[in-house]
Amino acid sequence: MIDRGKYNVLGVRIDALDYEAAVDRIIGAARERWPLAVTALAVHGVMTGVLDPVQRYRLNGLDIVTPDGMPVRWALNLLHGTRLPDRVAGPVLMLRVAAAAAEAGLPIFLYGSRSTVLEALARSLCQRFPDLRVAGMTPSRFRRLTAAERDEVVAQIQASGAALVFVGLGCPRQEVWIYEYRDRLEMPLLAVGAAFDFHAGTVPRAPASLERLGLEWAFRLMREPRRLWRRYLFLNPAYLWLLALQASRLRRFDPSDSTPPSGELLNG
């Protein structure tokens, strides 16, 4: 088990840990009914924090931020000598947490995406893990929620008996969601993004060979060029350039140089 704490990557604090440590902390919090906000960041997620000081504040306020993309793991190893042998990807983390939750008898809740995706996801997870109990699910409304609607979401999750929540709203909305709801739900909240579509079977995953090379982004770009071309063709080179500046100490990235949110976004 590897858990070496948080390290600064372009001003965003990333946890240098492995799957075993992440699952252990999440399941431990679920057993004890402790709030725990968890996300897995690839390059795009890190860059949302680099470019937006408010989002940087939120990300650095989360309990666990795993190195989802290979370039993020490489950054931890290059800048801080963490010697992480692998990344901790959201889709894989979701399956490992679901397996551990099934074994421990901890019900889960699914929040986000569309009803059809949630139904397919629940079927897929229960086929993989027959002892897993899906306590409830709520699709995204794809807009900001009112204060009353937010109270309804909290009440629904609490009444379901769930011990942890998987959140699939896409980056950065899902990180905003777990930041906002963390102190209202005494359980782990895991932002896992594309894992919902992957495990529901609605979107294919990149081949393992491309993932190992850090080229998952290229596969996704080929699949959805109109939606993703700006993200990858602008943010990936910017990430590499800024990483070179941090590595050479030509620029300092201070995680405390951030801006607290002025109000709740009430995402949903």
CA-to-CA distance for 203 and 255, rounded, in angstroms?
Answer: 34
Please, are residues 73 and 7 in contact by the beta-carbon 8 Å criterion?
Answer: no
List of domains in the chain: 5-200 (3.40.50)
Residue among 49, 64, 80, 87 nearest 178 (CA): 64
211 or 77: whose pLDDT is higher? Answer: 77
Average pLDDT score over residue span 232-248:
91
Per-residue confidence (pLDDT) for residue 20, from 0 to 100: 98
Query: What b/e readout covers 232-245, taking b as 16+ CB neighbours within 10 angstroms?
Result: beebbeebeebbee
Please, are residues 9 and 72 in contact by the beta-carbon 8 Å criterion?
Answer: yes
Q: Are strands 134-138 and 108-112 parallel, antiparallel or unpaired?
A: parallel
28 or 215: whose pLDDT is higher? Answer: 28
pLDDT in tens, 160-207: 999 999 999 999 999 999 999 999 999 999 999 889 998 988 866 656
pLDDT band per the 50, 70, 90 thresholds, residue 69? confident
Average pLDDT score over residue span 7-30:
98
**138 has pLDDT over 80:** yes
**140 has pLDDT over 60:** yes
> What Å distances lie between residue 89 and 15, 70, 93, 136, CA to CA?
12, 9, 6, 24
Q: What is the mean pLDDT of the chain?
A: 91
Per DSSP, what are the bridge partners of residue 191? 39, 167
**17 has pLDDT over 70:** yes
Question: Is the pTM above the cut of 0.85?
Answer: yes
